[in-house]
Amino acid sequence: MGGQIPEASFRTEHGFAIKPELSLDKGPANGLLMGQNAPREGFEAIYLGKHAETPYRNVWLDTRGAHVLYVMGKRRSGKSYTLGVLAEGLAAQSWVKQGESSQGVLILDTMNVYLTMPFDIENTHSDQSDVVKEFRKWKLSTEQLPMTLFRPRGTTTPTAVNSVEIALRPSDLGSDEWCGLFEVDPFVDPLGHLITELYAKVLTDGYTDSRSGNFVPPNPNFLLQDLLIALEYDHDLDRYHRDTREALRRRLDMLRRVPIFSDTGLDVRQLMRPRHISVLLLRELDQQMRAVLVALIVKRVMQLRGVSEQQERMITIHLARADKLSLSDPTASSREKELAEECQHKAREGLPRSWIIIDEAHNYIPSHGVMPSRKPLKKYVDEGRNLGLSIVVATQQPSGLDPSIQRNADMLLIHALSHHDDIVAAEGMINAACPAEVAIDTRQKIEGGRTFETLVRNLPLGYALASTDRANRLFPIRVRPRATVHGGTDY
């Protein structure tokens, strides 16, 4: 994978002159590399765009390490477009991806922006169009990107777009998700207590059916109907106020009409395949249901990846031992090889290293409110890196993200911002110094204490300030054109 990196030297339409001089790791073909943990032989990186300062070098993003990347910017500043660039890069065979790694890519597409991603620029627009000309100027090439669109059961996609249905079994949800779905606090709200108890009875404890006096054993594959029956006929639950029970009964009953529930459950392995983009189209679900689905996916990804990661670590050890013993004890050596293969096999039953890309992330990890996706996403951001899992979150509202999440990014891409609170939040998150002196297009000179604010307010569309702790300061980039059609509408 990789391929020759073409020479495409030109100035970006907008140029910045910034002091001091940028110092950053070297990337493929003398480009710049963001996010490298430690200098290593060879590169695992994807092409992001051009540094918007002379000499307009290519900017690459490291994919050897696992990362937490925040993309922020006001509405229509280019966030979703940038996410698409990242996803394309991760699944590419062409030069925009350097290195051998094959990671899974899942886009959690809140607004169905990526519905048009299966179409590519060159086969959609005319050769004379600006988009195609721009695409060629950057020496990019069209390729068949492995990609699947997934739609939740009960939602639809246009005829020309192939999509695969996904569904949930009621038993896929844990008590946190049930509470989240009904927007109740499991600790302070009596309805939350009732849900937690009912869930435990049906799933793990069993209960006595007051009609027959028979004990109903726990059922790990319960259906909605089973919850309703237990709620009605377990006298133990009469401790709860009638109104509380009635409130839960009505909510469960309502869910029977939500088509996403079926008898076939969710298998996240189909969403996370090496070098394959999965787009989950979430727009038609209501917000709580979206968050429940995201919570379940994120939890399951971590569990399965945990299994694979342990096996993968053992492979390295078995192979090293096989090598060491190859002369002194051939039998033991071949046993080690067998063990390595066994681990390889088991690792494949879990998940590959992966990237989760979340557009409109404030919906899932807001700073306030009960949201079932919050806890699992926090955990993913805190611990995912140990498992080789990366995450990209995009938001127009950096100040509205959960603060613990704000602290954990190792890289930022900041598109234009205009609200003061968001600018302050973004500035609080940057992990590189803000330059003291900046000129944009040689006209506008910015100096003194407010360079960050003035810079982000004036960033043109498609440009972003990049922040990484390996750089001595923030630097502006022009994000490369997309190879696939971007679905943002112009309302």
Ligand X SMILES: Nc1ncnc2c1ncn2[C@@H]1O[C@H](COP(=O)(O)OP(=O)(O)O)[C@@H](O)[C@H]1O
Interface residue list for Mg ion (CB under 5 A) = 80
Under rule CB under 6 A, residue 80 binds ligand X: yes
Q: At what angle do helices 242-255 and 190-200 cross, to 10 degrees?
A: 60
Closest CA to 350 of 393, 315, 391, 392: 315
Longest dimension (CA), the chain: 85
User: Rounded to whole angstroms, how far apart are CA atoms 79 and 71?
Assistant: 6
Q: Which of the residues 280 through 299 are near ligand X (CB under 6 A)?
A: none
Under rule CB under 6 A, residue 75 binds ligand X: yes
Q: Which is nearer to ligand X, 149 or 198 (CB)?
A: 149
Using the contact rule CB under 6 A, the part of the chain among 120-128, 379-387, 405-413, 480-488 near ligand X is: 480-488
Q: Which is nearer to ligand X, 35 or 462 (CB)?
A: 462
Question: Residue with CB nearest Mg ion?
Answer: 80
Under rule CB under 6 A, residue 79 binds ligand X: yes
Instruction: Count residues binding ligand X (CB under 6 A).
Output: 14
Using the contact rule CB under 6 A, the part of the chain among 11-19, 53-61, 305-313, 481-489 near ligand X is: 481-489
User: Rounded to whole angstroms, how far apart are CA atoms 358 and 299?
Assistant: 15
Q: Which is nearer to Mg ion, 80 or 112 (CB)?
A: 80
Which amino acid is located at 256 in the chain?
R
Under rule CB under 6 A, residue 476 binds ligand X: no
Q: Is the peptide bond preceding residue 158 cis, with omega within 30 degrees of 0?
A: no
Closest CA to 9 of 60, 51, 62: 51
User: Rounded to whole angstroms, how far apart are CA atoms 447 and 450?
Assistant: 7
Under rule CB under 6 A, residue 58 binds ligand X: no
Q: Are 197 and 204 in contact (CB under 8 A)?
A: no
Residue identified by tokens 């988009």 is 131
What one-character-per-residue DSSP string does 453-483 give?
HHHHHTPPTTEEEEEETTSSS-EEEEEPPPS
Grouping H, G, I as helix, E, B as strand and the rest as coil, residue 359 is: coil
For the bound state, the minimum distance from the C-beta of residue 121 to ligand X, rounded and expressed in Å, comes to 11
What string marks each residue from 428 to 467 as x (binds ligand X by CB under 6 A) or -? Answer: ---------------------------------xx-----
Residue 89's binding partner among ligand X, Mg ion, none (Cβ under 5 to 8 angstroms by kind) is none
Beta strands of 198-287 (E only): which ranges? 207-208, 215-216, 276-281
**The token pair that represents 364 in the structure block:** 């899932």
Residue 180's binding partner among ligand X, Mg ion, none (Cβ under 5 to 8 angstroms by kind) is none
Q: Which of 16, 70, 81, 150 binds ligand X (CB under 6 A)?
A: 81
Under rule CB under 6 A, residue 400 binds ligand X: no
Grouping H, G, I as helix, E, B as strand and the rest as coil, residue 281 is: strand
Under rule CB under 6 A, residue 481 binds ligand X: yes
Binding residues for ligand X, rule: CB under 6 A, are 73, 75-81, 461-462, 479, 481, 486, 488
